[in-house]
Structure 1
């Protein structure tokens, strides 16, 4: 082991000796990165300084590093680094001078400002740039700035595969500018995240219509926190029925989808179910009747859904019974089921217990937070009598008053690999966005 460490040290030393930085600031940046991240940037293609407050001095050093001819970073992640408008200008200017290797850029959680967006746009228009991933989550980008940004994307769209503009108040007019990029036949976007972008049904309609004209590459679409309305749901449904679409992830958390709209949406999903692996309808008032429409999709043998989130969908035990019965007829692909915040009651848990008994089920995560459950005896019995615990890793029963039956469940899980969450540990968060932000991964 010590010999291997010695070889690593020698290789680092020889490489450092071979590639001397011309700029003293770049050398200082190299030492800083090595100290903070534990890796010499000369030996890597990825630099992740997320959550490090860089300040003016470090930003200037990092900029010098990015400009140096020896720097060949493919991935640069500077999310939540408290970067100011002036600092973002310095960093994007540095990238413009040495753009050819960059494939993944993440500036999420920093306020770019007008000059930062302008300089970033200049970088995006550089024909030498072959950027594949651009993450600008919560960068305070306005409608006006989005016009500049999307014009830049339109000038060089062929390489981009992943675009995240979550949490920016683009509004309908800002999104309309983006649609020109989405329609372009050279655009091969696979992942599009527009969560909480202040869109109404007009903006959602524009986006889905644009995607419908160029659907073949798209694999993930996230419209969380935008109000789709009737026209938005209709246009989204038209997109979902497009035979060229091979969508794998569809996230519609908190999109104000009604029972009536869910019928249109699920009919569309039913026409083209074979590619979808992840469906999130959390926070929409589907009710029991809306969920019943979805069950026709879940029963379909072509449906291979792995993750289903129906948190806070205004379901009762009746809706839960329909969902679990549908899943019971087609269980083999499901890995993650979230029914949080629906009033399932003990009868709903009983139906869920029948699903757990299915030998084809390989469920890994089951979320039943705040479901009005008072007795988990049937659930415990199913886990005892089936092979479910060979696969189950997380069982969330927080905020349920399960009383005496809790201890037997704990005893049953003690020697398993399953983590039981049965204490009320959820932080007190306010609003849909705050709730959602805790449920997603942000690198």
Structure 2
């Protein structure tokens, strides 16, 4: 069951093909090495050897177990990833698949793309040198492969030749030393013995440390500790060494690169990070490039792409390189002429179930039957490991974790794809082993399989801790309901995809696929009907639009698209505005809009609701917040929005502050309290709002205080501000004028129409103090309309 449990650095973006190792070396490698190290002195010879060793280590993506390699040249199959400069290292409370689903429509926006090899190069507008970079991205998105490509290009003399030494120190390997006390120099000598003859502490060499996989770190990183370490030869605990290195106390000239999943990104304080980048995975164009490289048959590659495009949920998941590999593995086999029978996967559960079966077949082909008891026993044990570690939030496992689930390491290693040992043999340290699934979604699928098998074969609900109690719930529908409740209660959505898989596995078609792996299958059509009713009930009652969207994905896994089709009909026929929708139907509207292929450029609340009282409009607004969050322009003019609506609106905008460009709240009773809320979004340094319309919003000078404070914090993006028909008064105008004086202020239009009653000569004087205003413009403000074009 190839590579289900395996080394992350071998993220499968490759074709299976044997390589003639004698031909691996690029033609210009020796020339580049000689150019970089023209001096034949001993240190330069060591540097040449060091670089050559890293090249050999990172030039291939290896498949299979550590002693049975099937390498592929990285440079031949590498597909460039979409990497952007991110707004912050803040954590995300969404499931990572939901993050991919929302980010999939952002690749065409005005983000700042950065090439992997340029992450330490300042942009034209940045004058501060970049010492430390935090790169975040969901599991399987390509962080580790990006690190590998960066190192390989450096080792081959192609990029970043100003750096003399790169030390890759993955956290999963550092974890094995978490109880050690040693110096940084000693640690480097252990990991890289050839560096013993180099004076690393002298500052002679430009050094880069790469810490891959912060989310896998089991070392306690205390950045508030007062312990200061400045000497590379001074011994300390591993955590003290790492934090002092990242804070710049230890080797302050060294470059630092840390990669992490979003949920762990805030473990590093912002003051220790000069730049945050984000790996977004593949763009649509890069997806096609990947499949053309992965599948040698061009016609078959095009058929695979066409099929994936026909299922929006699958195509969105292809932003993740690992999912592209899973899809290619399954669809290459199923769409080929020889094996064209059977239903082609259209849901995540179908895709992952086929993948599981294919990997089992690979095991049989390798004739390992005598070494394992049977497929079902091993799959069940690994599925148990998956569930128990998923509940704990662990993606990385160690020997003791496997033993607790009854997994014999020697036996498990037979399954080259299902369970691959990761030895520390690269650096000659210890014999500790680290295990992981190739992607979190595979762990979630196996966890769901464990829950399903437990209820069908053993009549046990995995969520019920009182397992021996007579009151244990044993029906599939009760398990589904409990799982739905657990998913809805989860703050970070870590059970959302597990829930989709669990429900999908209850379909008879998927159970038939698993027939060889399960001793029992249960006819569950009646149970599924109960589950469908329960999901729809929860959609109608949940206050979280994000949770509702995942429940719609669950309906899709169960093959029920009735609510969605009904809404699509209303949208297509233009009857939505005349129809009184329930909460469930409004959630369906959000789901349909977010899963469409069209980019959400403009949101108008008036397109969805007209008339009605304030409560009804607020209800619609809240249900459509996920849509607002992904829109470039939000038009809420004359929508009876109050400060209560601003609370909901602000929560959506805060979660994605860099996306919105235009916001119109005109002719609403937002008042000063509403403006204060909106100002919290404006003051975010990552907010890029260009147009803000607030005419007729009952704003006074109190609201201007908050607005001015926000614009002082972030003056460089807003271009157009409309405060017409508000009681801003002289004091409010004075405050706004202080923003105009800021040399970074980019405001082009300031509208103060119908404010002439409250603006006196004193207010005009405040505006004229800004040198960018001429006499004619002042006259226009004071005597006529109150509008100033700056």
> Whose Rg is larger?
2
Between the two structures, name the one with larger relative contact order (CA 8 Å, sep ≥ 6).
2
Work out whether the TM-score is over 0.5.
no
TMscore range, shorter length? 0.3 to 0.5
TM-score (norm 1): 0.42
TM, length-normalised to structure 2:
0.25
